[in-house]
Each structure stands twice: as C-alpha cells, then as structure tokens.
Amino acid sequence: MGTEASGREHGGTRVLVTGAAGMLGTELVPLFRREFDVTPADVAEFDLRDAAATDAFVAEAKPAVVINCAAYTDVDGAESDPEAAFDVNAGGAGNVAAAAERVGARVVQVSTDYVFDGTGDTPYAETDEPRPLGVYGRSKLAGERKVAEACTDALIVRTAWLYGHAGPNFIEKMLSLASSGRVLRVVDDQVGAPTNVRDLAGAILELIAVEATGVVNATNVGSCSWFEFAREILDLAGHQDIPVKPVTSEEFPRPAPRPGYSVLSLARLVSLTGKEPRSWQDALAEYLAER
C-alpha cells in the first residue's frame, strides 16, 4: 500500500473521523493512526445534525481531512421514520461538509449501493443514474448531493453489504441462527458484494493518498446472493450440516424495498489506486478466523 512513504509525508496531517465508534470507524481510526494524527469523534463529542455544534468542533479540531463515517443505517426503520434518516444522512452529512469546507479540509463521505434501484444486471458505474427505492437510499443520495454542493473536490465512496467486528452483522446473525436447529431461510434474489470494513478502510486510505475526488465505488471483489453468502459463512465456520433454504424477497417481506442487483463496478477504484481489493471469500475467511 505504500504506507511507509505516505506515513513519512503525512504523519503530521490531522484527520477527523466522525462516527468513529461505528463499524467502519473502529477499523478506520487505528489504520489511519499509523500515518496521520487522528481525531476520532462520535455523538459524545458533537451531534452532526446541529450545524453550529458541528462548525465549532471542526473549527477547534483544525483537520486537513474529514472522513464522515456517521450514518443512520436502519434501512427498515427509515421507512417509518424518514425524518430521522434524512436528518443524519443528508442534513448531518451536509453540515460536516460545510464545516470542513470552512476550514479548508478535504472531505470523504461514505455512501451506499442503495442509491440504485437494482434493476440492472451488470455492475453499476459511478456515472450511472441513481434511482433509490427506499427512504434510506434517498437519504444517502441527498447526503451525497449536499456534500458535493458544499465541497467541489469532495470524495464520495459508495460501498455495500458491510460487516465488521464492531456491531451486529449478517455473519453473526447466521452463526447465531445455526445453533437454533431450524432450517435457515435466506433470500436468493438479491445480489451484491459482501465487504469487510477493514478492506473499505484500506481503500479509503489509498484514495486519500492519490487525492481522489468525485464518486468512487469500493467493495470486495466478486458478488453473491444473500443465500450464497450464508452458505459460505456456514461452510467456512464448520457448519456444513446446517440446512439453508433459498427463498424469494416476496417470501421474506421487509418494510424497505431492496435492490435486486447492486454490484458496484470497481474499475475506477483500480484505475486510481492501481490495486484490486481481495475477494469477498478471502475477506470473509479472515473475519471468521479472527472471531
């Protein structure tokens, strides 16, 4: 990754990470501390929905780079409480970007595959027209636009199907259900790219190093359905005997609509960084080995 050289170059650079206590933030902060002077912040430090509080904190921190990992991520909950989702994902993101712009800091905003409707069958490029299906996706797209308006050279990183050691995730849910003795029912008509937050944090580091701007997709390589992901989780964890039944989204209704196909093209990421992320299978194997 060229971290030694960039560490010598950027060691005194201050990076503010919002949402530092979250799944991505807990991987990103220690990684960035190898190279940067990191200021971690979460709700205990300031509420990004409060523009004045955000301005004050960012002005005091004096960062050169602000990475906004904070987000309202309850996809189903957003359907019944859209105001809460937009307050954080759109208003909060805009507040952070505006505050960063005022102190001359570069901005990195983390976004999602849910900005697409999933009706395609080839990986979505950064230039494809977003058409979110639900409130969560619309709130994240609104956040992208507010960030881009506030900072013309902002970096917006779209990712998908995140999991990590800090917080609940699909892997832990499957392993918990494996002990129930029931046949597991998992949807097989939603396809995406499972992504380890460790790899996403590394991709963000690489993109900052090359001073990337605009929208860039970042996930692990490859794709699968949730059913295929579940089967791989159980097999790698030694639960090959646990039965898993593929079902349709209609058979497993949820409050929020999900894109049927939300694989993101990694061509721009690879072009910018010169590196291809590892496969989702390898990233999953590492995660399971570390449990």
Prediction pTM value: 0.94
Tell me, yes or no, if 136 is annotated catalytic.
yes
Estimate the crossing angle of helix 197-209 against helix 280-289, to 10 degrees. Answer: 120
- What amino acid is encoded at 101 in this protein? E
Largest CA-CA distance found in the chain, in angstroms, rounded: 57
Looking at residue 52, its pLDDT comes to 98
CA distance 123 to 119: 11
Catalytic residue among 114, 136, 163, 287: 136
Report the candidate in 75, 288, 281 with the shortest Cα–Cα distance to residue 178: 288
Instruction: Given CATH 3.40.50.720, say whether it is the number of domain 3-168+194-221+263-278.
Output: yes
CA dist list (Å): 17 to 20, 37, 96, 97, 281: 6, 11, 11, 12, 28
Name the pLDDT band for 132 (thresholds 50, 70, 90): very high
CA distance 257 to 255: 7
Looking at residue 181, its pLDDT comes to 80
Name the pLDDT band for 11 (thresholds 50, 70, 90): low
Q: Each residue of 180-231: pLDDT tens digit?
A: 888 999 999 999 999 999 999 999 999 999 999 999 999 999 999 999 999 9
DSSP β-ladder status, 224-225 and 191-192: antiparallel
CA distance 74 to 136: 8
Looking at residue 2, its pLDDT comes to 34
